[in-house]
Amino acid sequence: MAAKSTEEIYIGLDVGSTKVCCIVGLHEEGVAYPSIIGVGVAPTSGMRKGVVVDVEETVSSITAAVDEAERISGIAIDRATIGVDGGHVQSLNSKGVIAVGRADQEITVDDLQRVEEAATAIQLPPNREILQVFPRSYTVDGQTNVKDPVGMNGVRLEVEAHIVTGATPAIKSLERSIYQAGIEIQGQVLVPLAAARAVLTKRQKELGVAVIDIGGGTTGVAVYEEGDILSSSVLPVGAGHITNDLAIGLKTDVDRAEKIKLKHVRAHVGKANMSEKIRLEELDGDDNFVTRRELQDIAGARLEEIFQLVRQELKKAGKDQLLPGGVVLTGGGAKMPGIEDLAKELLGLPAAIGKPEGFTGIVDRISDPAFAAPVGLMLENMSRAHSAPVPGRAIGQTVDRIKGIFKNLLP
């Protein structure tokens, strides 16, 4: 393939519980969205519930996905924005207050940086670190809801920031795996926030919306309001747990249970005949019939649990049944037939499936809810490269830099 300036190439790498996915985007000047020129996917081993449990196995899964993306794109991949996942992730909203620095009281970029530092000066338990910081809104001398205070005049500047933290050991083992696969980490983004980036419109975020990314081992939730992130979390349960439940309930192995799930299970049965007998060819023996009710009872219990936990997250954010933009479902679990109806019923909100759209290139492959997060990571990689170091990102960048230094110390 013809040589391309690497400056126009952006890479997202999502190491999920069931698949590693690497997306290569090529950005041409004057075009809003990059063209997808490479996609690499490999089954994951070595991950559980979004956390690395075996570095060596994870490295070989990452290498397989990156190799495929390199083959397809003709690009040598040595850097990426990566996704962070797992139940260890927590988020909180914090406030910072400072006195404006300049004698003439004009607010500068330097003030934004200082006030953000004040907001992140929080007591974190040992073994926990800040992953991402988002300034949500500023208050200047009591005037609330200021989006960009630079150039305004004031004495007292306050910020409300959304802070995402993660457990250091989990982050370290992910970083080590990615580093050992030969990839430099250019940024770390919480998986549901990456998915949101790929599927939400500005208008939905203004209205109030939540992304629910139902993966194999985790379910990520990100809530937006007035254009900004309000809350984010990762629950340690996903669509893979339905497979495990089926394996136990039907006394079979996980591979067969997965096939049965994909072929027969629906998230919402509607008016289906629950006594209908379904023949499970995957099971041995003559007596391999189950009723639809038996299947649905197993899968339904887990789906209900997932949506109940999601609803608790919405409640914590004060948004239970209060999101005019509804919920957008992503992740492989969003492909289960009838999932929108179940989400509507259990969350009391409008629901839709979110797929990355509006791209050119290898679009058939990525037009899939399971590709929302990896495509969003590629977009993050692009926006970080394009945006000048805005103060809103300053701390994130400091964290990245510190990690860069730390990485050099790794074996």
Ligand X SMILES: Nc1ncnc2c1ncn2[C@@H]1O[C@H](COP(=O)(O)OP(=O)(O)OP(=O)(O)O)[C@@H](O)[C@H]1O
Binding site for Mg ion (CB under 5 A): 16, 215
Quote the distance between the C-alpha of residue 270 and its chain's center. Answer: 30
Binding range to ligand X, per CB under 6 A, among 164-172, 239-247, 309-317, 381-389: 239-247
Of residues 258 through 317, those in contact with ligand X by CB under 6 A are 258, 262
Number of Cβ within 10 Å of residue 281's Cβ equals 10
The residue to which tokens 């289960």 are assigned:
336
The single residue among 118, 194, 209, 370 that binds ligand X, judged by CB under 6 A, is 370
Residue least distant from Mg ion (Cβ): 215
The minimum distance between CB 215 and ligand X, in angstroms, equals: 2
Q: Which is nearer to ligand X, 335 or 403 (CB)?
A: 335
Task: Establish if 58 lies at the interface with ligand X (CB under 6 A).
Answer: no
Contacts of residue 14, Cβ cutoff 8 Å, sequence gap at least 6: 20, 21, 22, 82, 83, 191, 194, 373, 374, 377
Does residue 304 contact residue 294 with C-beta atoms inside 8 Å? no
Instruction: Choose among ligand X, Mg ion, none what residue 165 binds, the Cβ cut-off being 5 to 8 Å by kind.
Output: none
Q: Determine the Cα–Cα distance for residues 379 and 225; give it in Å rounded to an integer.
A: 21
Contacts of residue 66, Cβ cutoff 8 Å, sequence gap at least 6: 13, 22, 40, 77, 181, 182, 183
Does residue 134 contact residue 123 with C-beta atoms inside 8 Å? no
Q: Which is nearer to ligand X, 218 or 381 (CB)?
A: 218
Task: Establish if 18 lies at the interface with ligand X (CB under 6 A).
Answer: yes
Q: Which is nearer to ligand X, 217 or 326 (CB)?
A: 217
Q: Which is nearer to ligand X, 9 or 257 (CB)?
A: 257
The single residue among 25, 87, 187, 332 that binds ligand X, judged by CB under 6 A, is 332
Task: Establish if 336 lies at the interface with ligand X (CB under 6 A).
Answer: yes
The single residue among 166, 215, 300, 391 that binds ligand X, judged by CB under 6 A, is 215
Q: Which is nearer to ligand X, 9 or 41 (CB)?
A: 41
Q: Is the dihedral of CA 379, 385, 388, 391 positive or negative?
A: positive
The single residue among 9, 10, 11, 19 that binds ligand X, judged by CB under 6 A, is 19
| Counts of helices then strands in the chain (DSSP H, E) | 12, 19
Does residue 219 contact residue 306 with C-beta atoms inside 8 Å? yes
The minimum distance between CB 304 and ligand X, in angstroms, equals: 16
Task: Establish if 12 lies at the interface with ligand X (CB under 6 A).
Answer: no
Q: Determine the Cα–Cα distance for residues 364 and 95; give it in Å rounded to an integer.
A: 43
Task: Establish if 236 lies at the interface with ligand X (CB under 6 A).
Answer: no
Task: Establish if 154 lies at the interface with ligand X (CB under 6 A).
Answer: no
Task: Establish if 53 lies at the interface with ligand X (CB under 6 A).
Answer: no
Does residue 174 contact residue 84 with C-beta atoms inside 8 Å? yes
Q: Determine the Cα–Cα distance for residues 300 and 308; give it in Å rounded to an integer.
A: 12
The single residue among 302, 319, 335, 393 that binds ligand X, judged by CB under 6 A, is 335
Give me the torsion for CA of 28, 30, 33, 37, rounded to 10°: -10
Task: Establish if 256 lies at the interface with ligand X (CB under 6 A).
Answer: no
Q: Determine the Cα–Cα distance for residues 239 and 369; give it in Å rounded to an integer.
A: 13
Q: Which is nearer to ligand X, 26 or 375 (CB)?
A: 375
Binding range to ligand X, per CB under 6 A, among 213-221, 246-254, 272-280, 391-399: 213-221
The minimum distance between CB 62 and Mg ion, in angstroms, equals: 14
Q: Which residues bind ligand X (CB under 6 A)?
A: 16-19, 50, 85, 191, 215-218, 238-240, 243, 258, 262, 331-333, 335-336, 370
